[in-house]
Structure 1
Amino acid sequence: MADFRVESIDYASGCDDLRRVREAVFVQEQQVPVEEEWDALDPLCRHVIARDASGQPIGTGRLTPERKIGRMAVLGPWRGRGVGDAMLLALLEQARQQRWPEVSLHAQVSAEPFYARHGFLPYGERFWEAGIEHQSMRRRLGGAAAVELAPVAVAAVVGLVTQARRSLSIYSRELDPGLLDHPQALEALRRFAIRGRGGEVRILLQDAAAPQRNLAPLLGLAQRLPSVFAFREVSDPVDRAYPSAFVANDAGGYYFRPLGHRFDGETDLESPGRARQLQEEFARIWERARPCSEYRALGI
């Protein structure tokens, strides 16, 4: 049972509680000028607050009329305990209730992986705000989002891996250098593999030799966690001519690329029909593909 709760809070009556968290985190810890921390939007926003078991405020977040999430802050002793995740989910639910098609935010660069785990994709160039480097990110709340660049592709994979319940299906040409070897993607896969839910990652390759030659980091991760990762190489000529690549999970999410050697494609965390279609296609090819027996020498 969680030792905290998240609830909506009225700005006028709850300003003191919001101030206790935001000024501790942003003003005192991050040295944001206090005059920049509070703005004219605050009274117009929807705010959430996290409280500990005794009712003391430990985290805040807001949703602006401009459809932006911001002022996400968690007190130091409570970080890494799911408080930020719970507040973000509460704000996303409020946005859905407003039937907004999309929400955006300015993420501190250090927090990019956190937001990627919740389906936010980066866009535009990084910038500085209140002396801290930021990245704009957005999350579609209905329909697929376009993926064009490598950073967006990485965020899409992180979101899919994090969302997965017990299974991931990855169809790749040669383990996608620049994507599946990215530190954020590898960390997401590692977390999935060790969380103890009987997870399985099945990976279909068109060229099993290339990752070995390139010493792909994912092979090393799979070597340490052989009960989770399974590799096969397509052998049927029709399968070898398949031009696309994709990742699909068992929670209704997918990232599909029409041309497997490019990052261009689309992703959606809330499309169970399309995800199921890709998983069924993957399963058919998996059955006629050959196990990568050469990986056994690596302990895989």
Structure 2
Amino acid sequence: MIGPFRVTLVDDYATALPLLRSVREAVFVREQGVPLDIELDAADPQCTHVLAFDPDGHAIGTARMTPERKIGRMAVLSDWRNAGVGAALLQALLRRARENDWTQVFLHAQAGAVDFYRRHGFVAHGERFMEAGIEHQEMRLALDQPQPVIDRAAAIAVASDLVTGARRGLWVHSRTLDPGLFDDRRLLDAFRELATRRTPGLEVQVLLHDASVPARTHAPLLRLAQRLPSVFAFREVSDPVDRAQAAAFMANDAGGYYYRALGHRFEGEAERHAPGRARQLADGFKSAWERSRPCSELRALGI
């Protein structure tokens, strides 16, 4: 099983260059056949770079963002693909873009990566074209408006980002810990990583409409919470007003949210940095939490 990884912003380009090149040349030059003389360009020293490292400190992924707001050079070593590394690299660059008060970024996605970027809210613009002998598609992301979530893959991507991005608080309002979402391995790994950070005061509060369903089906998130009872707390809504609520959502204390008007569906909207909207959802959650009952049947499981 692939272990944990970490992502950091590059502070010193000259010092990090050998690590950046080790990943990019392995992926772009040796694997994809991109000529070495165009892989490293004159813009590289002026870019914002991020690196991903495995538990032993070896570089396993990288990406960059130019002053012109273009994200590129996204590369992850083959052994670490489909483990969330690319998503973590992308989100690190998007956080920096928001810190710069940018309202939009763009990229040239390889044809095989279009769906990956679409799940993170990027929208295709124009016709596909060839670049370095590989088919590409220009894609853009508006940073100052909600991202539509249209399917399960996008829901898992945004939910995982919200969990990973939480600092000390995460609020989850779900009807029954939706199968297909809260039992996904990537999302569970994000919950596990958050819960094992040993952050003082960290709490994940989960408000359910029907606690009997995840208890009866032995939902994986319940099993994780059983092992980490100091972090997770569960309650079930009891007030008729709350029980009539059809929506479901997640919000974190870093200003991110994922809202679904119909809680039994994946479709909804999300923003990774919308403090006002996230705070509004969190305040409503806390009011409903106070009106709800502790789940004694879940405590019997050790939660």
- Report the TM-score range of the alignment, normalised by the length of the smaller protein: 0.7 to 0.9
The equivalent of 1:215 in structure 2 is 218
Structure 1 residues 6 and 61: CA distance shift in structure 2, 3 A: farther
Q: In the alignment, does 2:237 pair up with 1:234?
A: yes
Structure 1 residues 19 and 213: CA distance shift in structure 2, 3 A: closer
Which one-letter code corresponds to 1:195 in the other structure? R
Structure 1 residues 27 and 223: CA distance shift in structure 2, 3 A: same
* 1:178 counterpart SS class: coil
- Post-superposition CA distance 1:234-285 (Å, at most 9, x none): 0111111001000011111111111111111111111111111111100111
- Post-superposition CA distance 1:55-84 (Å, at most 9, x none): xxx7864446995422235899xxx9x9x9
- Unaligned segments of structure 2, at least 5 residues: 1-6, 52-58, 125-130
Structure 1 residues 105 and 251: CA distance shift in structure 2, 3 A: farther
* 1:298 counterpart SS class: coil
* 2:182 counterpart SS class: coil
Pick from 142, 145, 159: which aligns with 2:144? Answer: 142
- Post-superposition CA distance 1:165-200 (Å, at most 9, x none): 001000000001111111111100000000010311
* 2:47 counterpart SS class: strand
Alpha-carbon distance, 1:43 to partner: 4.9
Alpha-carbon distance, 1:20 to partner: 6.0
Measured on the aligned residues, the alpha-carbon RMSD in Å equals 4.3
Pick from 160, 163, 168: which aligns with 2:162? Answer: 160
Give identity over the alignment, percent: 49
TM-score under structure 1 normalisation?
0.72
- Unaligned segments of structure 1, at least 5 residues: 10-14, 52-57
TM-score under structure 2 normalisation?
0.71
Pick from 23, 26, 33: which aligns with 2:25? Answer: 23
Pick from 252, 256, 259: which aligns with 2:255? Answer: 252
Map 1:122-141 to 2 at 5 A: 140-141=142-143
The equivalent of 1:173 in structure 2 is 175
Pick from 90, 93, 101: which aligns with 2:96? Answer: 93
Structure 1 residues 212 and 139: CA distance shift in structure 2, 3 A: farther
The equivalent of 1:293 in structure 2 is 296
> Which whole-Å CA distance do the structure 1 matches of 2:213 and 2:8 have between them?
48
> Which whole-Å CA distance do the structure 2 matches of 1:98 and 1:272 have between them?
14
Pick from 190, 193, 196: which aligns with 2:195? Answer: 193
Contact 2:163 2:191 in 1 (8 A): yes
The equivalent of 1:12 in structure 2 is none
